[in-house]
């Protein structure tokens, strides 16, 4: 058997574990949790072995296990291997956590089986070497997630969220099917590498980019279809961890995988940038008002997915891939440790009044952040060559300034102790340095696999200016949030924001989500 088929061992092992779990769906199934954990660990080893194959032999597509372009095949390149390592690692951690978390549950075996099946479906998706496998894994991922979201099917909130998610998944799946059909008709093949090469060579695949964008937006819970993601808290914590750290990234992965196709549709990229940027700002604003840990994390995911879509819209595909990795690792840890986080926060004793930054302190923070960004940016420019940096990358760096300024503002408050000021300055410099370093590494690792961003035209320059202005205003607002929060006029705004400006409620009414079922007379 060709060694290039090694990646397919990862989902196969988890699929076997899912089948074994299906035979014992009840409480404490014999050997099933242990076998699932072993299968997940072996899948991680297969992913590591695939990474070694890429380093040794370069990008390649495995032979097809099937005929007429229909079957299983693995694409081994920087994108697929990165996602394969990420999904297998997060999947192993979540399955291992589940072994203890659900011990004694009445349907522990069934949950373990569907969890293994969901991870297997995502693994098939990210390594897909042909379009048929890609769309089949895309649909299978949605189906497995639906079963996990309905683990407590007796809860009305769980049913409503799952029903809404199923609706958007169906629309996204239909868009994916149509996009795949157009790609096959336009290139005469199901091989993904051939499709990408055709797009890179200038072949125009009419109508494909908008359909891929629609599927990605729905999968990544972009505004105004974000509501289901904030309502799935009724599912067990491992589902939240897998969803927010893995499944939700499928939309971004789709755009990254077909980056060359998306570059041929600048209008579609502009829509992605606008929708993603607005979702990021909206989600971040609502997140600040959430009192519950898991709900706050859910809104954080909405914002982060919006920022990732914005990066794709700006054609910064290597940085979007980096964002997926960083966000997934952080969010998996955040959800799995959410219970301990509540206890730790409750145990904190504040030594005195909180230092609230004034307008002048925020101004000083922005100037300091700009100086840090300019200094570290110049360092990296001298190291790797400033000519390699695009206008889009500099725009992303400008947005980073606002994030660093928000961090610095806490230390620059008038009543902040000197130790806090020094620490925030140090952390801000470390954050900026790490950001530049990781971006450089991501661009280097994906060179030749993902295209560089094109030279911006009038439309792109307008979007870049709009992004800097929007995130700048939000950065100032966030930095001044503690000061505004104490004003009586802010109380009403806080209530409206905590309810997501009622967008999800309006969508529920539109979809009939609040209608009570008719009872027999």
Q: DSSP letter string over 473-497? A: HHHHHHHTHHHHHTSTTHHHHHHHH
SS3 (DSSP) at 281: helix
Nearest CA-CA partner of 118 in 220, 43, 28, 24: 43
The stretches in the chain having pLDDT less than 50 are 350-352, 384-387, 516-521
CA atoms within 13 A on the CB side of 454: 16
Question: What pLDDT score was predicted for residue 521?
Answer: 35
SS3 (DSSP) at 191: strand
In angstroms, the CA 488 to CA 485 distance is 8
How many Å separate Cα 199 from the centre of its chain?
25
Angle at Cα 133 formed by Cα 127 and Cα 139, nearest 5°?
105
In angstroms, the CA 110 to CA 174 distance is 28
Question: What pLDDT score was predicted for residue 191?
Answer: 94
In angstroms, the CA 115 to CA 107 distance is 12
CB atoms closer than 10 angstroms to residue 364:
18
Question: What pLDDT score was predicted for residue 389?
Answer: 61
| Residue 22 backbone class (left: φ over 0; alpha: ψ -120 to 50; beta: rest) | alpha
In angstroms, the CA 250 to CA 141 distance is 9
In angstroms, the CA 378 to CA 376 distance is 5
Question: What pLDDT score was predicted for residue 436?
Answer: 80
The answer to pTM > 0.85 is yes
| Burial classification of residue 508, based on how many CB atoms lie within 10 Å of its CB (0-12 exposed, 13-18 middle, 19 or more buried) | middle
CB atoms closer than 10 angstroms to residue 205:
21
The answer to whether 240 and 294 have CB atoms below 8 angstroms apart is yes
Nearest CA-CA partner of 431 in 461, 459, 406: 406
CA atoms within 13 A on the CB side of 7: 34
Helix axes 317-336, 250-257, angle to 10 degrees: 160
In angstroms, the CA 97 to CA 100 distance is 6
Which residues 6+ apart lie within 8 Å of 228 measured at CB? 161, 162, 164, 165, 168, 221
Stated as kind and residue range, the H or E segment containing 12 is: helix 9-23
Segment 198-243, tens digit of pLDDT: 998 887 788 899 999 999 999 998 998 888 888 877 778 888 888 8
Question: What pLDDT score was predicted for residue 81?
Answer: 96
Question: What pLDDT score was predicted for residue 63?
Answer: 94
Q: What are the boundaries of each domain within the chain?
A: 1-129, 156-338+501-513, 353-479
In angstroms, the CA 191 to CA 194 distance is 5
Nearest CA-CA partner of 300 in 214, 229, 398: 229
- CA end-to-end distance (rounded Å), the chain: 65
SS3 (DSSP) at 233: helix
Torsion angle in degrees (nearest 10) through CA of 171, 176, 177, 181: 140
Residue owning tokens 């299983």: 72
The answer to whether 259 and 464 have CB atoms below 8 angstroms apart is no
DSSP state of 107: T
DSSP state of 128: B
In angstroms, the CA 112 to CA 122 distance is 16
The answer to whether 243 and 145 have CB atoms below 8 angstroms apart is yes
SS3 (DSSP) at 350: coil
The answer to whether 126 and 84 have CB atoms below 8 angstroms apart is yes
Question: What pLDDT score was predicted for residue 10?
Answer: 95
Question: What pLDDT score was predicted for residue 196?
Answer: 94
């Amino acid at each position: 058997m060709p060694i290039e088929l090694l990646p397919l061992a990862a989902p196969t092992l988890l699929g076997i574990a899912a089948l074994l779990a299906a035979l014992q769906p009840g409480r404490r199934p014999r050997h099933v949790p242990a076998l699932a954990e072993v299968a997940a660990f072996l899948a991680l080893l297969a992913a590591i072995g695939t990474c070694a194959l890429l380093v040794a032999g370069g990008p390649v597509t495995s032979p097809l296990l099937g005929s007429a372009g229909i079957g299983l095949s693995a694409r081994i390149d920087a994108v697929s291997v990165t996602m394969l390592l990420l999904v297998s690692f997060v999947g192993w951690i979540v399955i291992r956590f589940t072994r203890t978390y659900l011990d004694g549950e009445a349907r522990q075996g069934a949950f373990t089986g569907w969890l293994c099946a969901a991870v297997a479906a995502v693994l098939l998706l990210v390594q897909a070497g042909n379009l048929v496998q890609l769309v089949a894994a895309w649909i299978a991922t949605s189906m497995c997630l639906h079963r996990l979201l309905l683990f407590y099917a007796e809860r009305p909130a769980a049913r409503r969220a799952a029903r809404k998610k199923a609706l958007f998944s169906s629309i996204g799946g239909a868009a994916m099917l149509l996009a795949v059909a157009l790609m096959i008709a336009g290139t005469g093949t199901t091989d993904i590498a051939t499709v990408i090469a055709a797009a890179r060579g200038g072949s125009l695949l009419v109508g494909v980019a908008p359909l891929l964008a629609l599927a990605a937006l729905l999968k990544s819970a972009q505004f105004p279809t974000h509501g289901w993601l904030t309502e799935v808290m009724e599912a067990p914590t491992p589902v939240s961890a897998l969803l927010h750290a893995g499944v939700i990234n499928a939309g971004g992965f789709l755009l990254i995988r077909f980056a060359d196709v998306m570059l041929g549709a600048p209008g579609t990229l502009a829509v992605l940038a606008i929708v993603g940027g607005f979702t990021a700002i909206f989600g971040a604003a609502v997140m600040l008002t959430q009192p519950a840990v898991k709900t706050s994390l859910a809104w954080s995911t909405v914002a982060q997915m919006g920022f990732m879509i914005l990066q794709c819209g700006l054609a910064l595909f290597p940085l979007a891939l980096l964002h997926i990795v960083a966000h997934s690792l952080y969010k998996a840890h955040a959800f799995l440790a959410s219970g301990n986080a509540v206890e730790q926060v409750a145990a904190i004793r504040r030594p005195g009044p909180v230092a609230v930054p004034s307008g002048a302190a925020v101004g000083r923070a922005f100037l300091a952040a700009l100086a840090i960004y300019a200094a570290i940016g110049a360092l990296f420019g001298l190291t790797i060559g400033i000519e390699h940096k695009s206008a889009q990358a500099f725009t992303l760096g400008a947005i980073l300034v606002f994030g660093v300024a928000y961090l610095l503002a806490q230390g620059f408050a008038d009543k902040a102790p000197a130790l806090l000021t020094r620490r925030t300055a140090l952390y801000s410099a470390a954050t900026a340095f790490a950001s530049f370093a990781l971006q450089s590494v991501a661009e280097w690792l994906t060179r030749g696999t993902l295209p560089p961003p094109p030279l911006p035209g009038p439309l792109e320059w307008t979007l870049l200016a709009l992004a800097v202005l929007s995130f700048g205003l939000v950065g100032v607002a966030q930095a001044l949030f503690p000061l505004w929060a104490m004003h009586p006029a802010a109380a009403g705004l806080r209530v409206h924001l905590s309810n997501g400006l009622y967008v999800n409620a309006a969508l529920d009414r539109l979809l009939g989500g609040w209608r009570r079922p008719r009872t027999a007379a």
